[in-house]
């Protein structure tokens, strides 16, 4: 009699454990999907806001006047205040041929080789396209050019 009671209790506990695992897994999947959708919406909003900020900065008459000089020292010196007023972390200004005329960053972690090179390069850890006015990231692989003129 004791053995039968023990087996029934073990069987019931095994069934309850299996159902609880299924329920917890379903709940976890549901929560992860909801959070993933929310994160996607937040990232899209952040991306849209960054593009709007870049467009506003690019359309400033003072910046257009600086860029028309096409002189690296003039643009670099005159655009430093734009980084502060825009509250951006990174400001990269390029001429139509892709030469970097100004490069300003709030972080000291930005490699100096990027500042010296005068050209953008394909580095997955340093995407210049997100903060460069009038640019958008292309869907090409890293071996190809990352930026496309708008």
- Strand ranges inside the chain, DSSP E: 90-94, 100-105, 135-137, 147-149
Residue where the block lists tokens 């709007």? 52
Q: How much is the average pLDDT of 121-143?
A: 38
Which is more confident, 114 or 141? 114
CA distance 98 to 129: 12
CA distance 122 to 38: 30
Per the prediction, the chain carries an average pLDDT of: 77
Which is more confident, 107 or 144? 107
Nearest Cα to Cα of residue 132 among 61, 67, 51: 51
Burial of residue 103 (CB within 10 Å: 0-12, 13-18, 19+) is buried
pLDDT per position as a tens digit, 15-71: 999 999 999 999 999 999 999 999 999 999 999 998 998 898 889 899 999 999 999
- Strand ranges inside 7-145, DSSP E: 90-94, 100-105, 135-137
Q: Residue length, the chain?
A: 150
């Amino acid at each position: 009699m004791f053995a039968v009671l023990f087996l029934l209790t073990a069987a019931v506990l095994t069934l309850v454990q299996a159902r609880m695992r299924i329920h917890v897994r379903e709940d976890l999947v549901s929560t992860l999907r909801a959070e993933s959708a929310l994160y996607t919406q937040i990232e899209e909003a952040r991306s849209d806001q960054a593009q709007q900020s870049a467009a506003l900065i690019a359309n400033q008459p003072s910046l257009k006047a600086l860029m028309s000089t096409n002189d690296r020292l003039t643009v670099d010196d005159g655009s430093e205040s734009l980084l502060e007023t825009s509250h951006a972390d990174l400001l990269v200004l390029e001429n139509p041929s892709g030469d970097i005329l100004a490069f300003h960053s709030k972080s000291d972690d930005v490699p100096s080789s990027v500042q010296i090179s005068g050209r953008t390069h394909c580095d997955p850890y340093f995407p210049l396209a997100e903060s460069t006015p009038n640019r958008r990231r292309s869907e090409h692989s890293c071996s190809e050019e990352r930026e496309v003129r708008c």
